[in-house]
Chain A
Amino acid sequence: MRRLIAGEFHKLLATRLWLWLLLGSMAITALYTSLQIAFSDDPDTWTLPLSTADGQQTLFAAAASAASPLVAVLAAIGITAEYRHRTATTTFLATPHRGRVIAAKLITYGLVGIGYALACIAVVTAIAVPWLSAKNVDLSLAGNGLPATMAGGIAAVTLYALIGVGLGALLREQVATVVGLLIYLFVIEAILTNIPALDAWTRYLPGPADNALTGITLTNQQFLQPWQGGLVLTTYCVLIAAAGTYLANRRDVT
């Protein structure tokens, strides 16, 4: 398994996509953090003031998990590229037990997710600490529940990476997987979570579960407890990865 994971890292690093998506994640984090701090005094905002623990947790959580969709896309591309470029044949010849290939990809992209999340946490910290200090807002990285938030952010990004791998194994078609993933995250989920009457159900969707896990507080939406959010997201992840692995084993590689 160690060799398979090393091989997956080889594949990932052989092209530059990981770097562009990492830079993209960090840029989104920087943009979000800057806007959030710049307009934090706006009374109409859905987030709590940055002087509160909930407000700070939300800032760090949202900034850390900015990497989630991009990591999911990277992971989905990583596995569907095998089918698109037909390297699946070579890969499954080297490792006829396809479940092991998918396991190696899950571990690899899980680790990549951790790396992305850490990079985004570094960005939000680098921007928020001096800026909030200049605004005379008291911020301690060790306090206000921020360690839990950061751990939740890392877990969330990692789980999205695993969902990306599972979805790619399930669908195989690269464009369909990536477009489907993005449409779901940015269109379907956005519509559903904006209907308050559906709130009791939509809190179990991946995005709101992600928000719950990382400890985001919004004034216009209710989330599950962090542990419940983590459990819900993990359940999605396991179901999709299991279905993807099952089908990868059954399907003919033609």
Chain B
Amino acid sequence: MTDQDGRIVVSGLAKTFGTVKAVDGLTFTVEPGSITGFLGPNGAGKTTTLRMLLGLVRPDAGTATIGGRAYTDLPAPSDRVGAVLEATAFHPARTGRAHLRIYSTINGYPGTRADEVLELVGLSGAGRRAVRGYSLGMRQRLALATALLGDPKVLVLDEPANGLDPEGIAWMRRLLRDLAAQGRAVLVSSHVLSEVQQLVDHVVIINRGRCVRQGPLTALADLHGPVVSVRTPDPDRLQTALIRIGVDEDRITRTGDQLRVTGIQADDVGQLAFAEQIPVLWLAAEQSDLEQVFFALTTDNGQQPALTATTGA
């Protein structure tokens, strides 16, 4: 398999349900060998996009390919692409193992494969129980096990962390990291950036069926610039001083004796306070608040021209 096999290209994809434009001319690319977060608020069109990518929903316009081919044209698609689209899609009376054996049979995998993937997702002990007795977290694991049956090079996961407890989310992150380290392309959707922030290298952010941003996660952080928090007994003077050196007023948030300033380095705030002889009790450079960037990108009111531009594909 070449790298080309894992590249996902979505081009001009559109889908309308009734009067609702679920996906509206969506274009993005996912490079192989990386974990890409597919982000957007609920109703942004993530699930519809993934279902069009996987040949389950017929697009009104545009194309979606994996390794240059539509999913429905892939020979033995389960060998190449594993997908988790919903965690509740099981016959309740079947055991987890029976579910996996059914899809092993259909795809022509050996009967032992079901037990292997059960082990891989930590469900060995529950394999012979009916799925109706599974927790949501166990169903997520079983859905992932189903996707892994064919040992695919590409994984497409729709909100895989839904219903998982913090331990489960940590487990899922570790597993996805391991899977990506083996050279797989992983496309994972979420409506909460923080859920996948520590996992993904790249992001594709969509809102109202359109791509508002795609690129490396680090570039997303740079959009917002640095953030500094400072505590001082005289916040009024510091605020005035900051505005005087050119910091926009709306980039300063004040809580009690603490100021939070975006778009400025901690060094500069420290120098300024020293020059103005304002005592500083505490000064810290914050990690960029990606959640706020995400929020700005996906809130229509908060749209700023600089943030809505899509980086070159």
Binding site for B on A (CB under 8 A): 3-4, 6-7, 10-11, 14-15, 81, 85-87, 89-97, 250, 252-254
Q: Does B101 make an interface contact (CB < 8 A)?
A: yes
Chain A facing B: main interface SS: helix
- What are 10 A-B residue pairs whose CB atoms fall within 8 Å in the complex? A7-B106, A10-B102, A15-B91, A87-B89, A90-B89, A92-B55, A96-B77, A252-B57, A253-B57, A254-B56
- Tell whether, in the assembled complex, residue A11 and residue B102 are in contact, meaning their CB atoms are under 8 Å apart: yes
Q: Does B105 make an interface contact (CB < 8 A)?
A: yes
- Tell whether, in the assembled complex, residue B106 and residue A15 are in contact, meaning their CB atoms are under 8 Å apart: no
The answer for the CA separation of A86 and B88 in the assembled complex, in Å, is: 8
Residue of A4, A7, A92 most packed against chain B (CB within 10 A): A7
- In chain B, what residue has the closest Cβ to A95? B106
The answer for the CA separation of A94 and B93 in the assembled complex, in Å, is: 21
- Distance from A60 Cβ to chain B, minimum over Cβ atoms (Å): 35
Partner of A6, one of B48, B88, B93, B105: B105
The answer for the CA separation of A252 and B60 in the assembled complex, in Å, is: 11
- Tell whether, in the assembled complex, residue A90 and residue B103 are in contact, meaning their CB atoms are under 8 Å apart: yes
Partner of B56, one of A11, A81, A93, A97: A93
Residues on the A chain within 8 Å of B85, using CB: 89, 93
* Per-residue contact bits, chain B 60-72, to A (CB 8 Å; 1 contact, 0 not): 0000000000011
The answer for the CA separation of A79 and B77 in the assembled complex, in Å, is: 22
Residues on the A chain within 8 Å of B107, using CB: 3, 94
- Distance from A112 Cβ to chain B, minimum over Cβ atoms (Å): 16
B interface residue count range (under 10 / 10 to 19 / 20 to 34 / 35 or more): 20 to 34
Given A89-B85, A96-B71, decide whether A7 and B51 contact each other with a Cβ distance below 8 A: no
- Tell whether, in the assembled complex, residue A10 and residue B101 are in contact, meaning their CB atoms are under 8 Å apart: yes
- Distance from B234 Cβ to chain A, minimum over Cβ atoms (Å): 58
Residues of B43-94 whose CB lies within 8 A of A: 48, 51, 54-58, 71-72, 74, 77-78, 83, 85-86, 88-94
Given A14-B102, A97-B72, decide whether A86 and B89 contact each other with a Cβ distance below 8 A: yes
Residues on the B chain within 8 Å of A252, using CB: 51, 56-58
- Distance from B133 Cβ to chain A, minimum over Cβ atoms (Å): 15
The answer for the CA separation of A90 and B96 in the assembled complex, in Å, is: 14
- In chain B, what residue has the closest Cβ to A249? B58
Residues of B103-122 whose CB lies within 8 A of A: 103, 105-108
Binding site for A on B (CB under 8 A): 48, 51, 54-58, 71-72, 74, 77-78, 83, 85-86, 88-95, 98-99, 101-103, 105-108, 146
Residues on the B chain within 8 Å of A15, using CB: 91, 93-94
The answer for the CA separation of A89 and B74 in the assembled complex, in Å, is: 17
- In chain A, what residue has the closest Cβ to B91? A85
- Tell whether, in the assembled complex, residue A94 and residue B77 are in contact, meaning their CB atoms are under 8 Å apart: yes
- Distance from A1 Cβ to chain B, minimum over Cβ atoms (Å): 11
- Distance from B70 Cβ to chain A, minimum over Cβ atoms (Å): 9
- In chain A, what residue has the closest Cβ to B76? A94
Residues on the A chain within 8 Å of B51, using CB: 252-254
- Distance from B44 Cβ to chain A, minimum over Cβ atoms (Å): 16
- Distance from B51 Cβ to chain A, minimum over Cβ atoms (Å): 7
Residues on the B chain within 8 Å of A95, using CB: 106
Given A92-B55, A253-B51, decide whether A7 and B102 contact each other with a Cβ distance below 8 A: yes
The answer for the CA separation of A253 and B71 in the assembled complex, in Å, is: 14
- In chain A, what residue has the closest Cβ to B55? A96
- Tell whether, in the assembled complex, residue A89 and residue B91 are in contact, meaning their CB atoms are under 8 Å apart: no
- In chain A, what residue has the closest Cβ to B78? A94
Closest 6 CB pairs of A and B: A7-B106, A86-B89, A96-B72, A253-B56, A252-B57, A14-B98
Residues on the A chain within 8 Å of B89, using CB: 85-87, 89-90
- Tell whether, in the assembled complex, residue B90 and residue A85 are in contact, meaning their CB atoms are under 8 Å apart: yes
- In chain B, what residue has the closest Cβ to A6? B105
Given A14-B94, A89-B89, decide whether A94 and B106 contact each other with a Cβ distance below 8 A: yes
Q: List 15 extra interface pairs beyond A6-B106, A96-B55, CB under 8 A.
A: A3-B107, A7-B102, A7-B105, A14-B95, A14-B102, A15-B91, A15-B93, A81-B91, A85-B91, A89-B86, A92-B56, A93-B54, A93-B85, A96-B77, A254-B57
